[in-house]
């Protein structure tokens, strides 16, 4: 079977996190995705080698998440088939770069991390603000919701409006999830 590979470049300060203590994190990613990961610590270049496209893609997404400030244990949630990773480039929204970039990051994080925490709780996601990016990991539907909330904050929507929208969306999605579970429960021939 033919081998394929991806090459990525990650920030040098995230290499040790990717490798982990005694190589544990790197080994866990390799064994979970059936891939081989080569790390060039001096250049921050990572090569992921494997035989299955989906496994390679998953390993790459996990590495990208770790590179963008996500805790490796959280990044490994991408092994779950219903989980996804979204990366928002804040630079696309920053007008006069440095000052505006700091203000945007402050709006997303909030005082003592409160805004980020509220978004995470209302969407069951994990959010990392690192450098000029925002990373979001969670179930696909929730990641999409969290992304929209973060983009709303970036573009200047009031925090209170974003929170209200998130609460409404959470109620809607939670109701849909329960309805789907009920349908599946009944479909499988089990009566209440």
pLDDT in tens, 41-94: 888 999 999 999 999 999 999 999 999 999 999 999 999 999 999 999 998 887
Question: Containing domain of residue 107, as a range?
Answer: 83-185
On whether residue 192 sits in a domain, the answer given is no
Look-up of token digits 């009566």: 191
Strands (E) across the chain are located at 4-9, 35-40, 45-50, 83-89, 126-130, 133-139
Residue 95 and residue 127 share a domain: yes
Residues 11 and 53 both lie in one domain: yes
What is the arrangement of strands in the sheet containing 83-89, beginning at the earlier edge strand? 83-89, 133-139, 126-130
Q: Are residues 89 and 181 in the same domain?
A: yes
Both 181 and 87 in a single domain? yes
Task: Give this prediction's pTM.
Answer: 0.87
> At 6, phi and psi to the nearest 5?
-120, 145
φ and ψ of 43, to 5 deg: -100, -15
The enclosing domain of 43 has a CATH number of 3.30.1370.10
């Amino acid at each position: 079977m033919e081998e394929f590979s991806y090459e990525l470049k990650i920030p040098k300060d995230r290499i040790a996190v990717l490798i982990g203590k005694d190589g544990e994190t790197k080994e866990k990613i390799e064994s979970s995705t059936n891939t081989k990961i080569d790390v060039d610590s001096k250049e921050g270049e990572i090569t992921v080698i494997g035989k299955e496209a989906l496994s390679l893609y998953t390993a790459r997404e996990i590495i990208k998440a770790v590179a963008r400030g996500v805790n490796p244990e959280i990044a490994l949630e991408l092994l779950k088939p219903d989980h996804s990773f979204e990366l928002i480039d804040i630079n696309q929204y920053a007008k006069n770069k440095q000052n505006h970039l700091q203000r945007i990051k402050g709006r997303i994080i909030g005082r003592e991390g409160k805004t980020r925490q509220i978004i995470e709780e209302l969407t069951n996601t994990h959010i990392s603000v690192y450098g000029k990016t925002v990373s979001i990991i969670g179930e696909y539907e929730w990641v999409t919701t969290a992304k929209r909330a973060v983009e709303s904050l970036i573009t200047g929507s009031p925090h209170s409006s974003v929170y209200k929208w998130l609460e409404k969306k959470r109620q809607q999605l939670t109701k849909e999830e329960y309805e789907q579970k009920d349908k599946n429960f009944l479909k499988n021939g089990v009566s209440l």
